Amino acid sequence: MARTHSTGKGRPSSGPSGASGLVAGALGRLGRAGGLVFLLAGLLLSGWGAYEGAYLAGWAGTHGTLTVERCDISYLNNASRSSRKNRRPVRCAGTFVSDDGRSRDAGAAVQVRQRFAAGTELSVQQTDPPSASGAADADYVQSSAGRAWRWFGVFFGGWVLTGLGVFCLATGYAPFGRSRVSYDAAWEASGRGVTRPVVIGMLGVGLVGAGVCLLVSYFV
């Protein structure tokens, strides 16, 4: 007569089903953790793009003219020769006067991509004023519509990451590696509430907005 082996009443099973449950739970948490990372990265990217774009477009800060007195090329000591040749940071110093004439800084300086002759007037944006009268610690950026539009493209690109983060957080789907929730199941679950419309809207606005901004940047 064959003997039967009992695992004991109430004792948790350590077989395949138990292991699968632990793996599924871990992967579910991984999907939501990844979604949180995507969400935070998207918000950070959008904020950074909006900040830089607003200054380059002249929407923030104080706009004015920097009259160049000298331009110096400073190479990074720890950069390779090819890297120094490609980057060639140029610092042009001179006098900044705001458009309304209320702000004047004789120690203004801005980082640009090429050298300019003395007397050249550069359109710049003062991002931070001097901390005190006569202090040479103000910050400036050269106004550029093309660069501004590219940064606005970065702003909309952040929407794509944010939308993906919302989708992963709401469904537990992990877009990388093995996922507890399949894409089809996650997509079906997202349609039961407002998740799917929100995700589609964010992805659509992000992709179209980034594409339009990058296209416009080549023509301005």
Residue 177 has pLDDT above 70, yes or no: no
Give pLDDT tens digits for 154-164: 999 999 999 99
Q: What is the pLDDT of residues 86-127, one digit of tens each?
A: 454 899 999 999 998 888 999 999 999 889 999 999 999 999
Q: Is the per-residue pLDDT at 22 higher than 60?
A: no
**pTM reported for the whole predicted model:** 0.73
CA 128 to chain centre: 21
What is the gyration radius of the CA atoms in the chain, in angstroms? 28
Ranges of each domain in the chain = 29-55+147-217, 61-142
